[in-house]
Amino acid sequence: MIPTGLKEFREEDLVANEEVIITLSNTGYIKRISPTSIRAQNRGGKGLVGSDLSEEEFITHFLRANTHDNILFFTDKGKVFQAKVYEIPVGTRVSRGKLIHNFLDFPAEENISAIVAYTTQYGLNAFLVMATSRRMIKKTPISDFENVRRSGIIGISLKNGDLLKWVKMSSGKDEVIIVTALGQAIRFKENQLRPMGRQASGLKAISLNSNDFIASFDIIKTNTEQRGKILRNSVSSQHQSALLVVTENGFGKQTILSSYRAQSRGGKGIKTAKITTKTGKIVAAQVLADEEELFALSVKGQIIRTKISSIRVASRISQGVRIMKLEKEDKIAGVVAI
């Protein structure tokens, strides 16, 4: 008698679906660790040692994911490679990790510039929004990346000198917010970006001054502002979302998302932070809804975990408060809010 009700066995069935944090260094060392391995501290502390890095190494990517997620690696030249999160080697908080070339076959002359982890629950109706160093932006259906061969595929065509820098997931009905290193921000409707194929190069995202450049961008999900978290240190009791802005010298703040009016793609945007020699340039910006904790990592491998509620809600033109005390010549590499 033939048994019924059997399903196809998958490798991930043997792996617990758990939240992890992934780090990648400039020299290609990657690891995944549990968020619980990083104990919480008060805002403004020095943090803990996050990786055993040499003097020539620094952290370039810092993100959260679940072990069952698909993960896409984008190079600065626009190629895409795929893996499962559970395939990334497990490390400890202080370990260096393993070389990414051990399981991804990408050219030595290219660098990983963006990493996106996603679950299949998004379906094939979602999009990937990509932004480049020369202000170009485009969105491509995620279905175009359903089958990525081991040798990689083209994700975006780049003009001479341009580099792919960021990639984010979107629903097709969201909004985009782009933040520059010198404190400008522009917010526009995603429908101003028509879907394009993998070979396209995109459209102009923002107008920049000659000495400015894009530092970060994020997706404002549909109804984010309506379902956002209560800003406990705000004078308002309404549920509101915020944009978290973090500078290279360890300063950060939250600004109510409604402070950023929607504009047309390609404009100059509006002020989002007061940039001084004390704060340094902006290195990260993230839309917050119901996140409660912030993980900040420095290029020298220090890491701090602190409550988002301890980071002051401030106006667009303010500089914020110190979230991490850095050693001389160290800088913030990235942040993750969970």
Catalogue all structural domains in the chain, each as residue range(s) with its CATH number. 11-337 (2.120.10.90)
Q: What is the pLDDT of residue 41?
A: 64
Q: Which segment, 25-29, 85-89, 222-226, 333-337, is predicted with the most confidence on average? A: 85-89
Task: Report the chain's mean pLDDT, rounded to a whole number.
Answer: 86
Alpha helices for 167-305 (secondary structure H): 224-227
> Considering only 13-17, 116-120, 250-254, which range has the smallest mean pLDDT?
13-17
CA distance 195 to 193: 6
pLDDT of residue 235: 40
Residue 232: its pLDDT value, please?
A: 42
d(C-alpha 283, C-alpha 184), whole Å: 12
- Whole-prediction pTM: 0.82
Kindly provide the b/e burial profile for residues 76-110, where b requires at least 16 CB atoms within 10 angstroms of the residue's own CB. Answer: bbbbbbbbbbbebeebebeebbbebeeebebeeee
Most confident listed range (21-30, 67-76, 220-229): 67-76
CA distances from 83 to 37, 60, 147, 249, 317 (A): 24, 19, 11, 34, 41
pLDDT greater than 50 at residue 231: no
Please check the confidence at residue 128 and state whether its pLDDT lies above 80: yes
What average pLDDT score do residues 168-176 get?
94
* pLDDT score, position 15: 74
Pairing of strands 127-132, 184-189: unpaired
pLDDT in tens, 13-62: 787 788 898 988 888 889 998 877 666 666 766 655 555 556 656 677 87
Binned at pLDDT 50, 70 and 90, residue 237 comes out as very low
Share of residues in the chain with pLDDT > 70 (%): 85
- Predicted confidence (pLDDT) per residue in 210-221, tens digit: 899 999 999 999
Separation of CA 259 from chain center: 22
Q: For 182-211, what is each residue's pLDDT tens digit?
A: 999 999 999 999 999 999 999 999 999 989
Residue 193's pLDDT is what? Answer: 97
pLDDT at 108: 82
More confident residue, 64 or 236: 64
Which range has the worst mean pLDDT, 89-98, 176-185, 229-238? 229-238
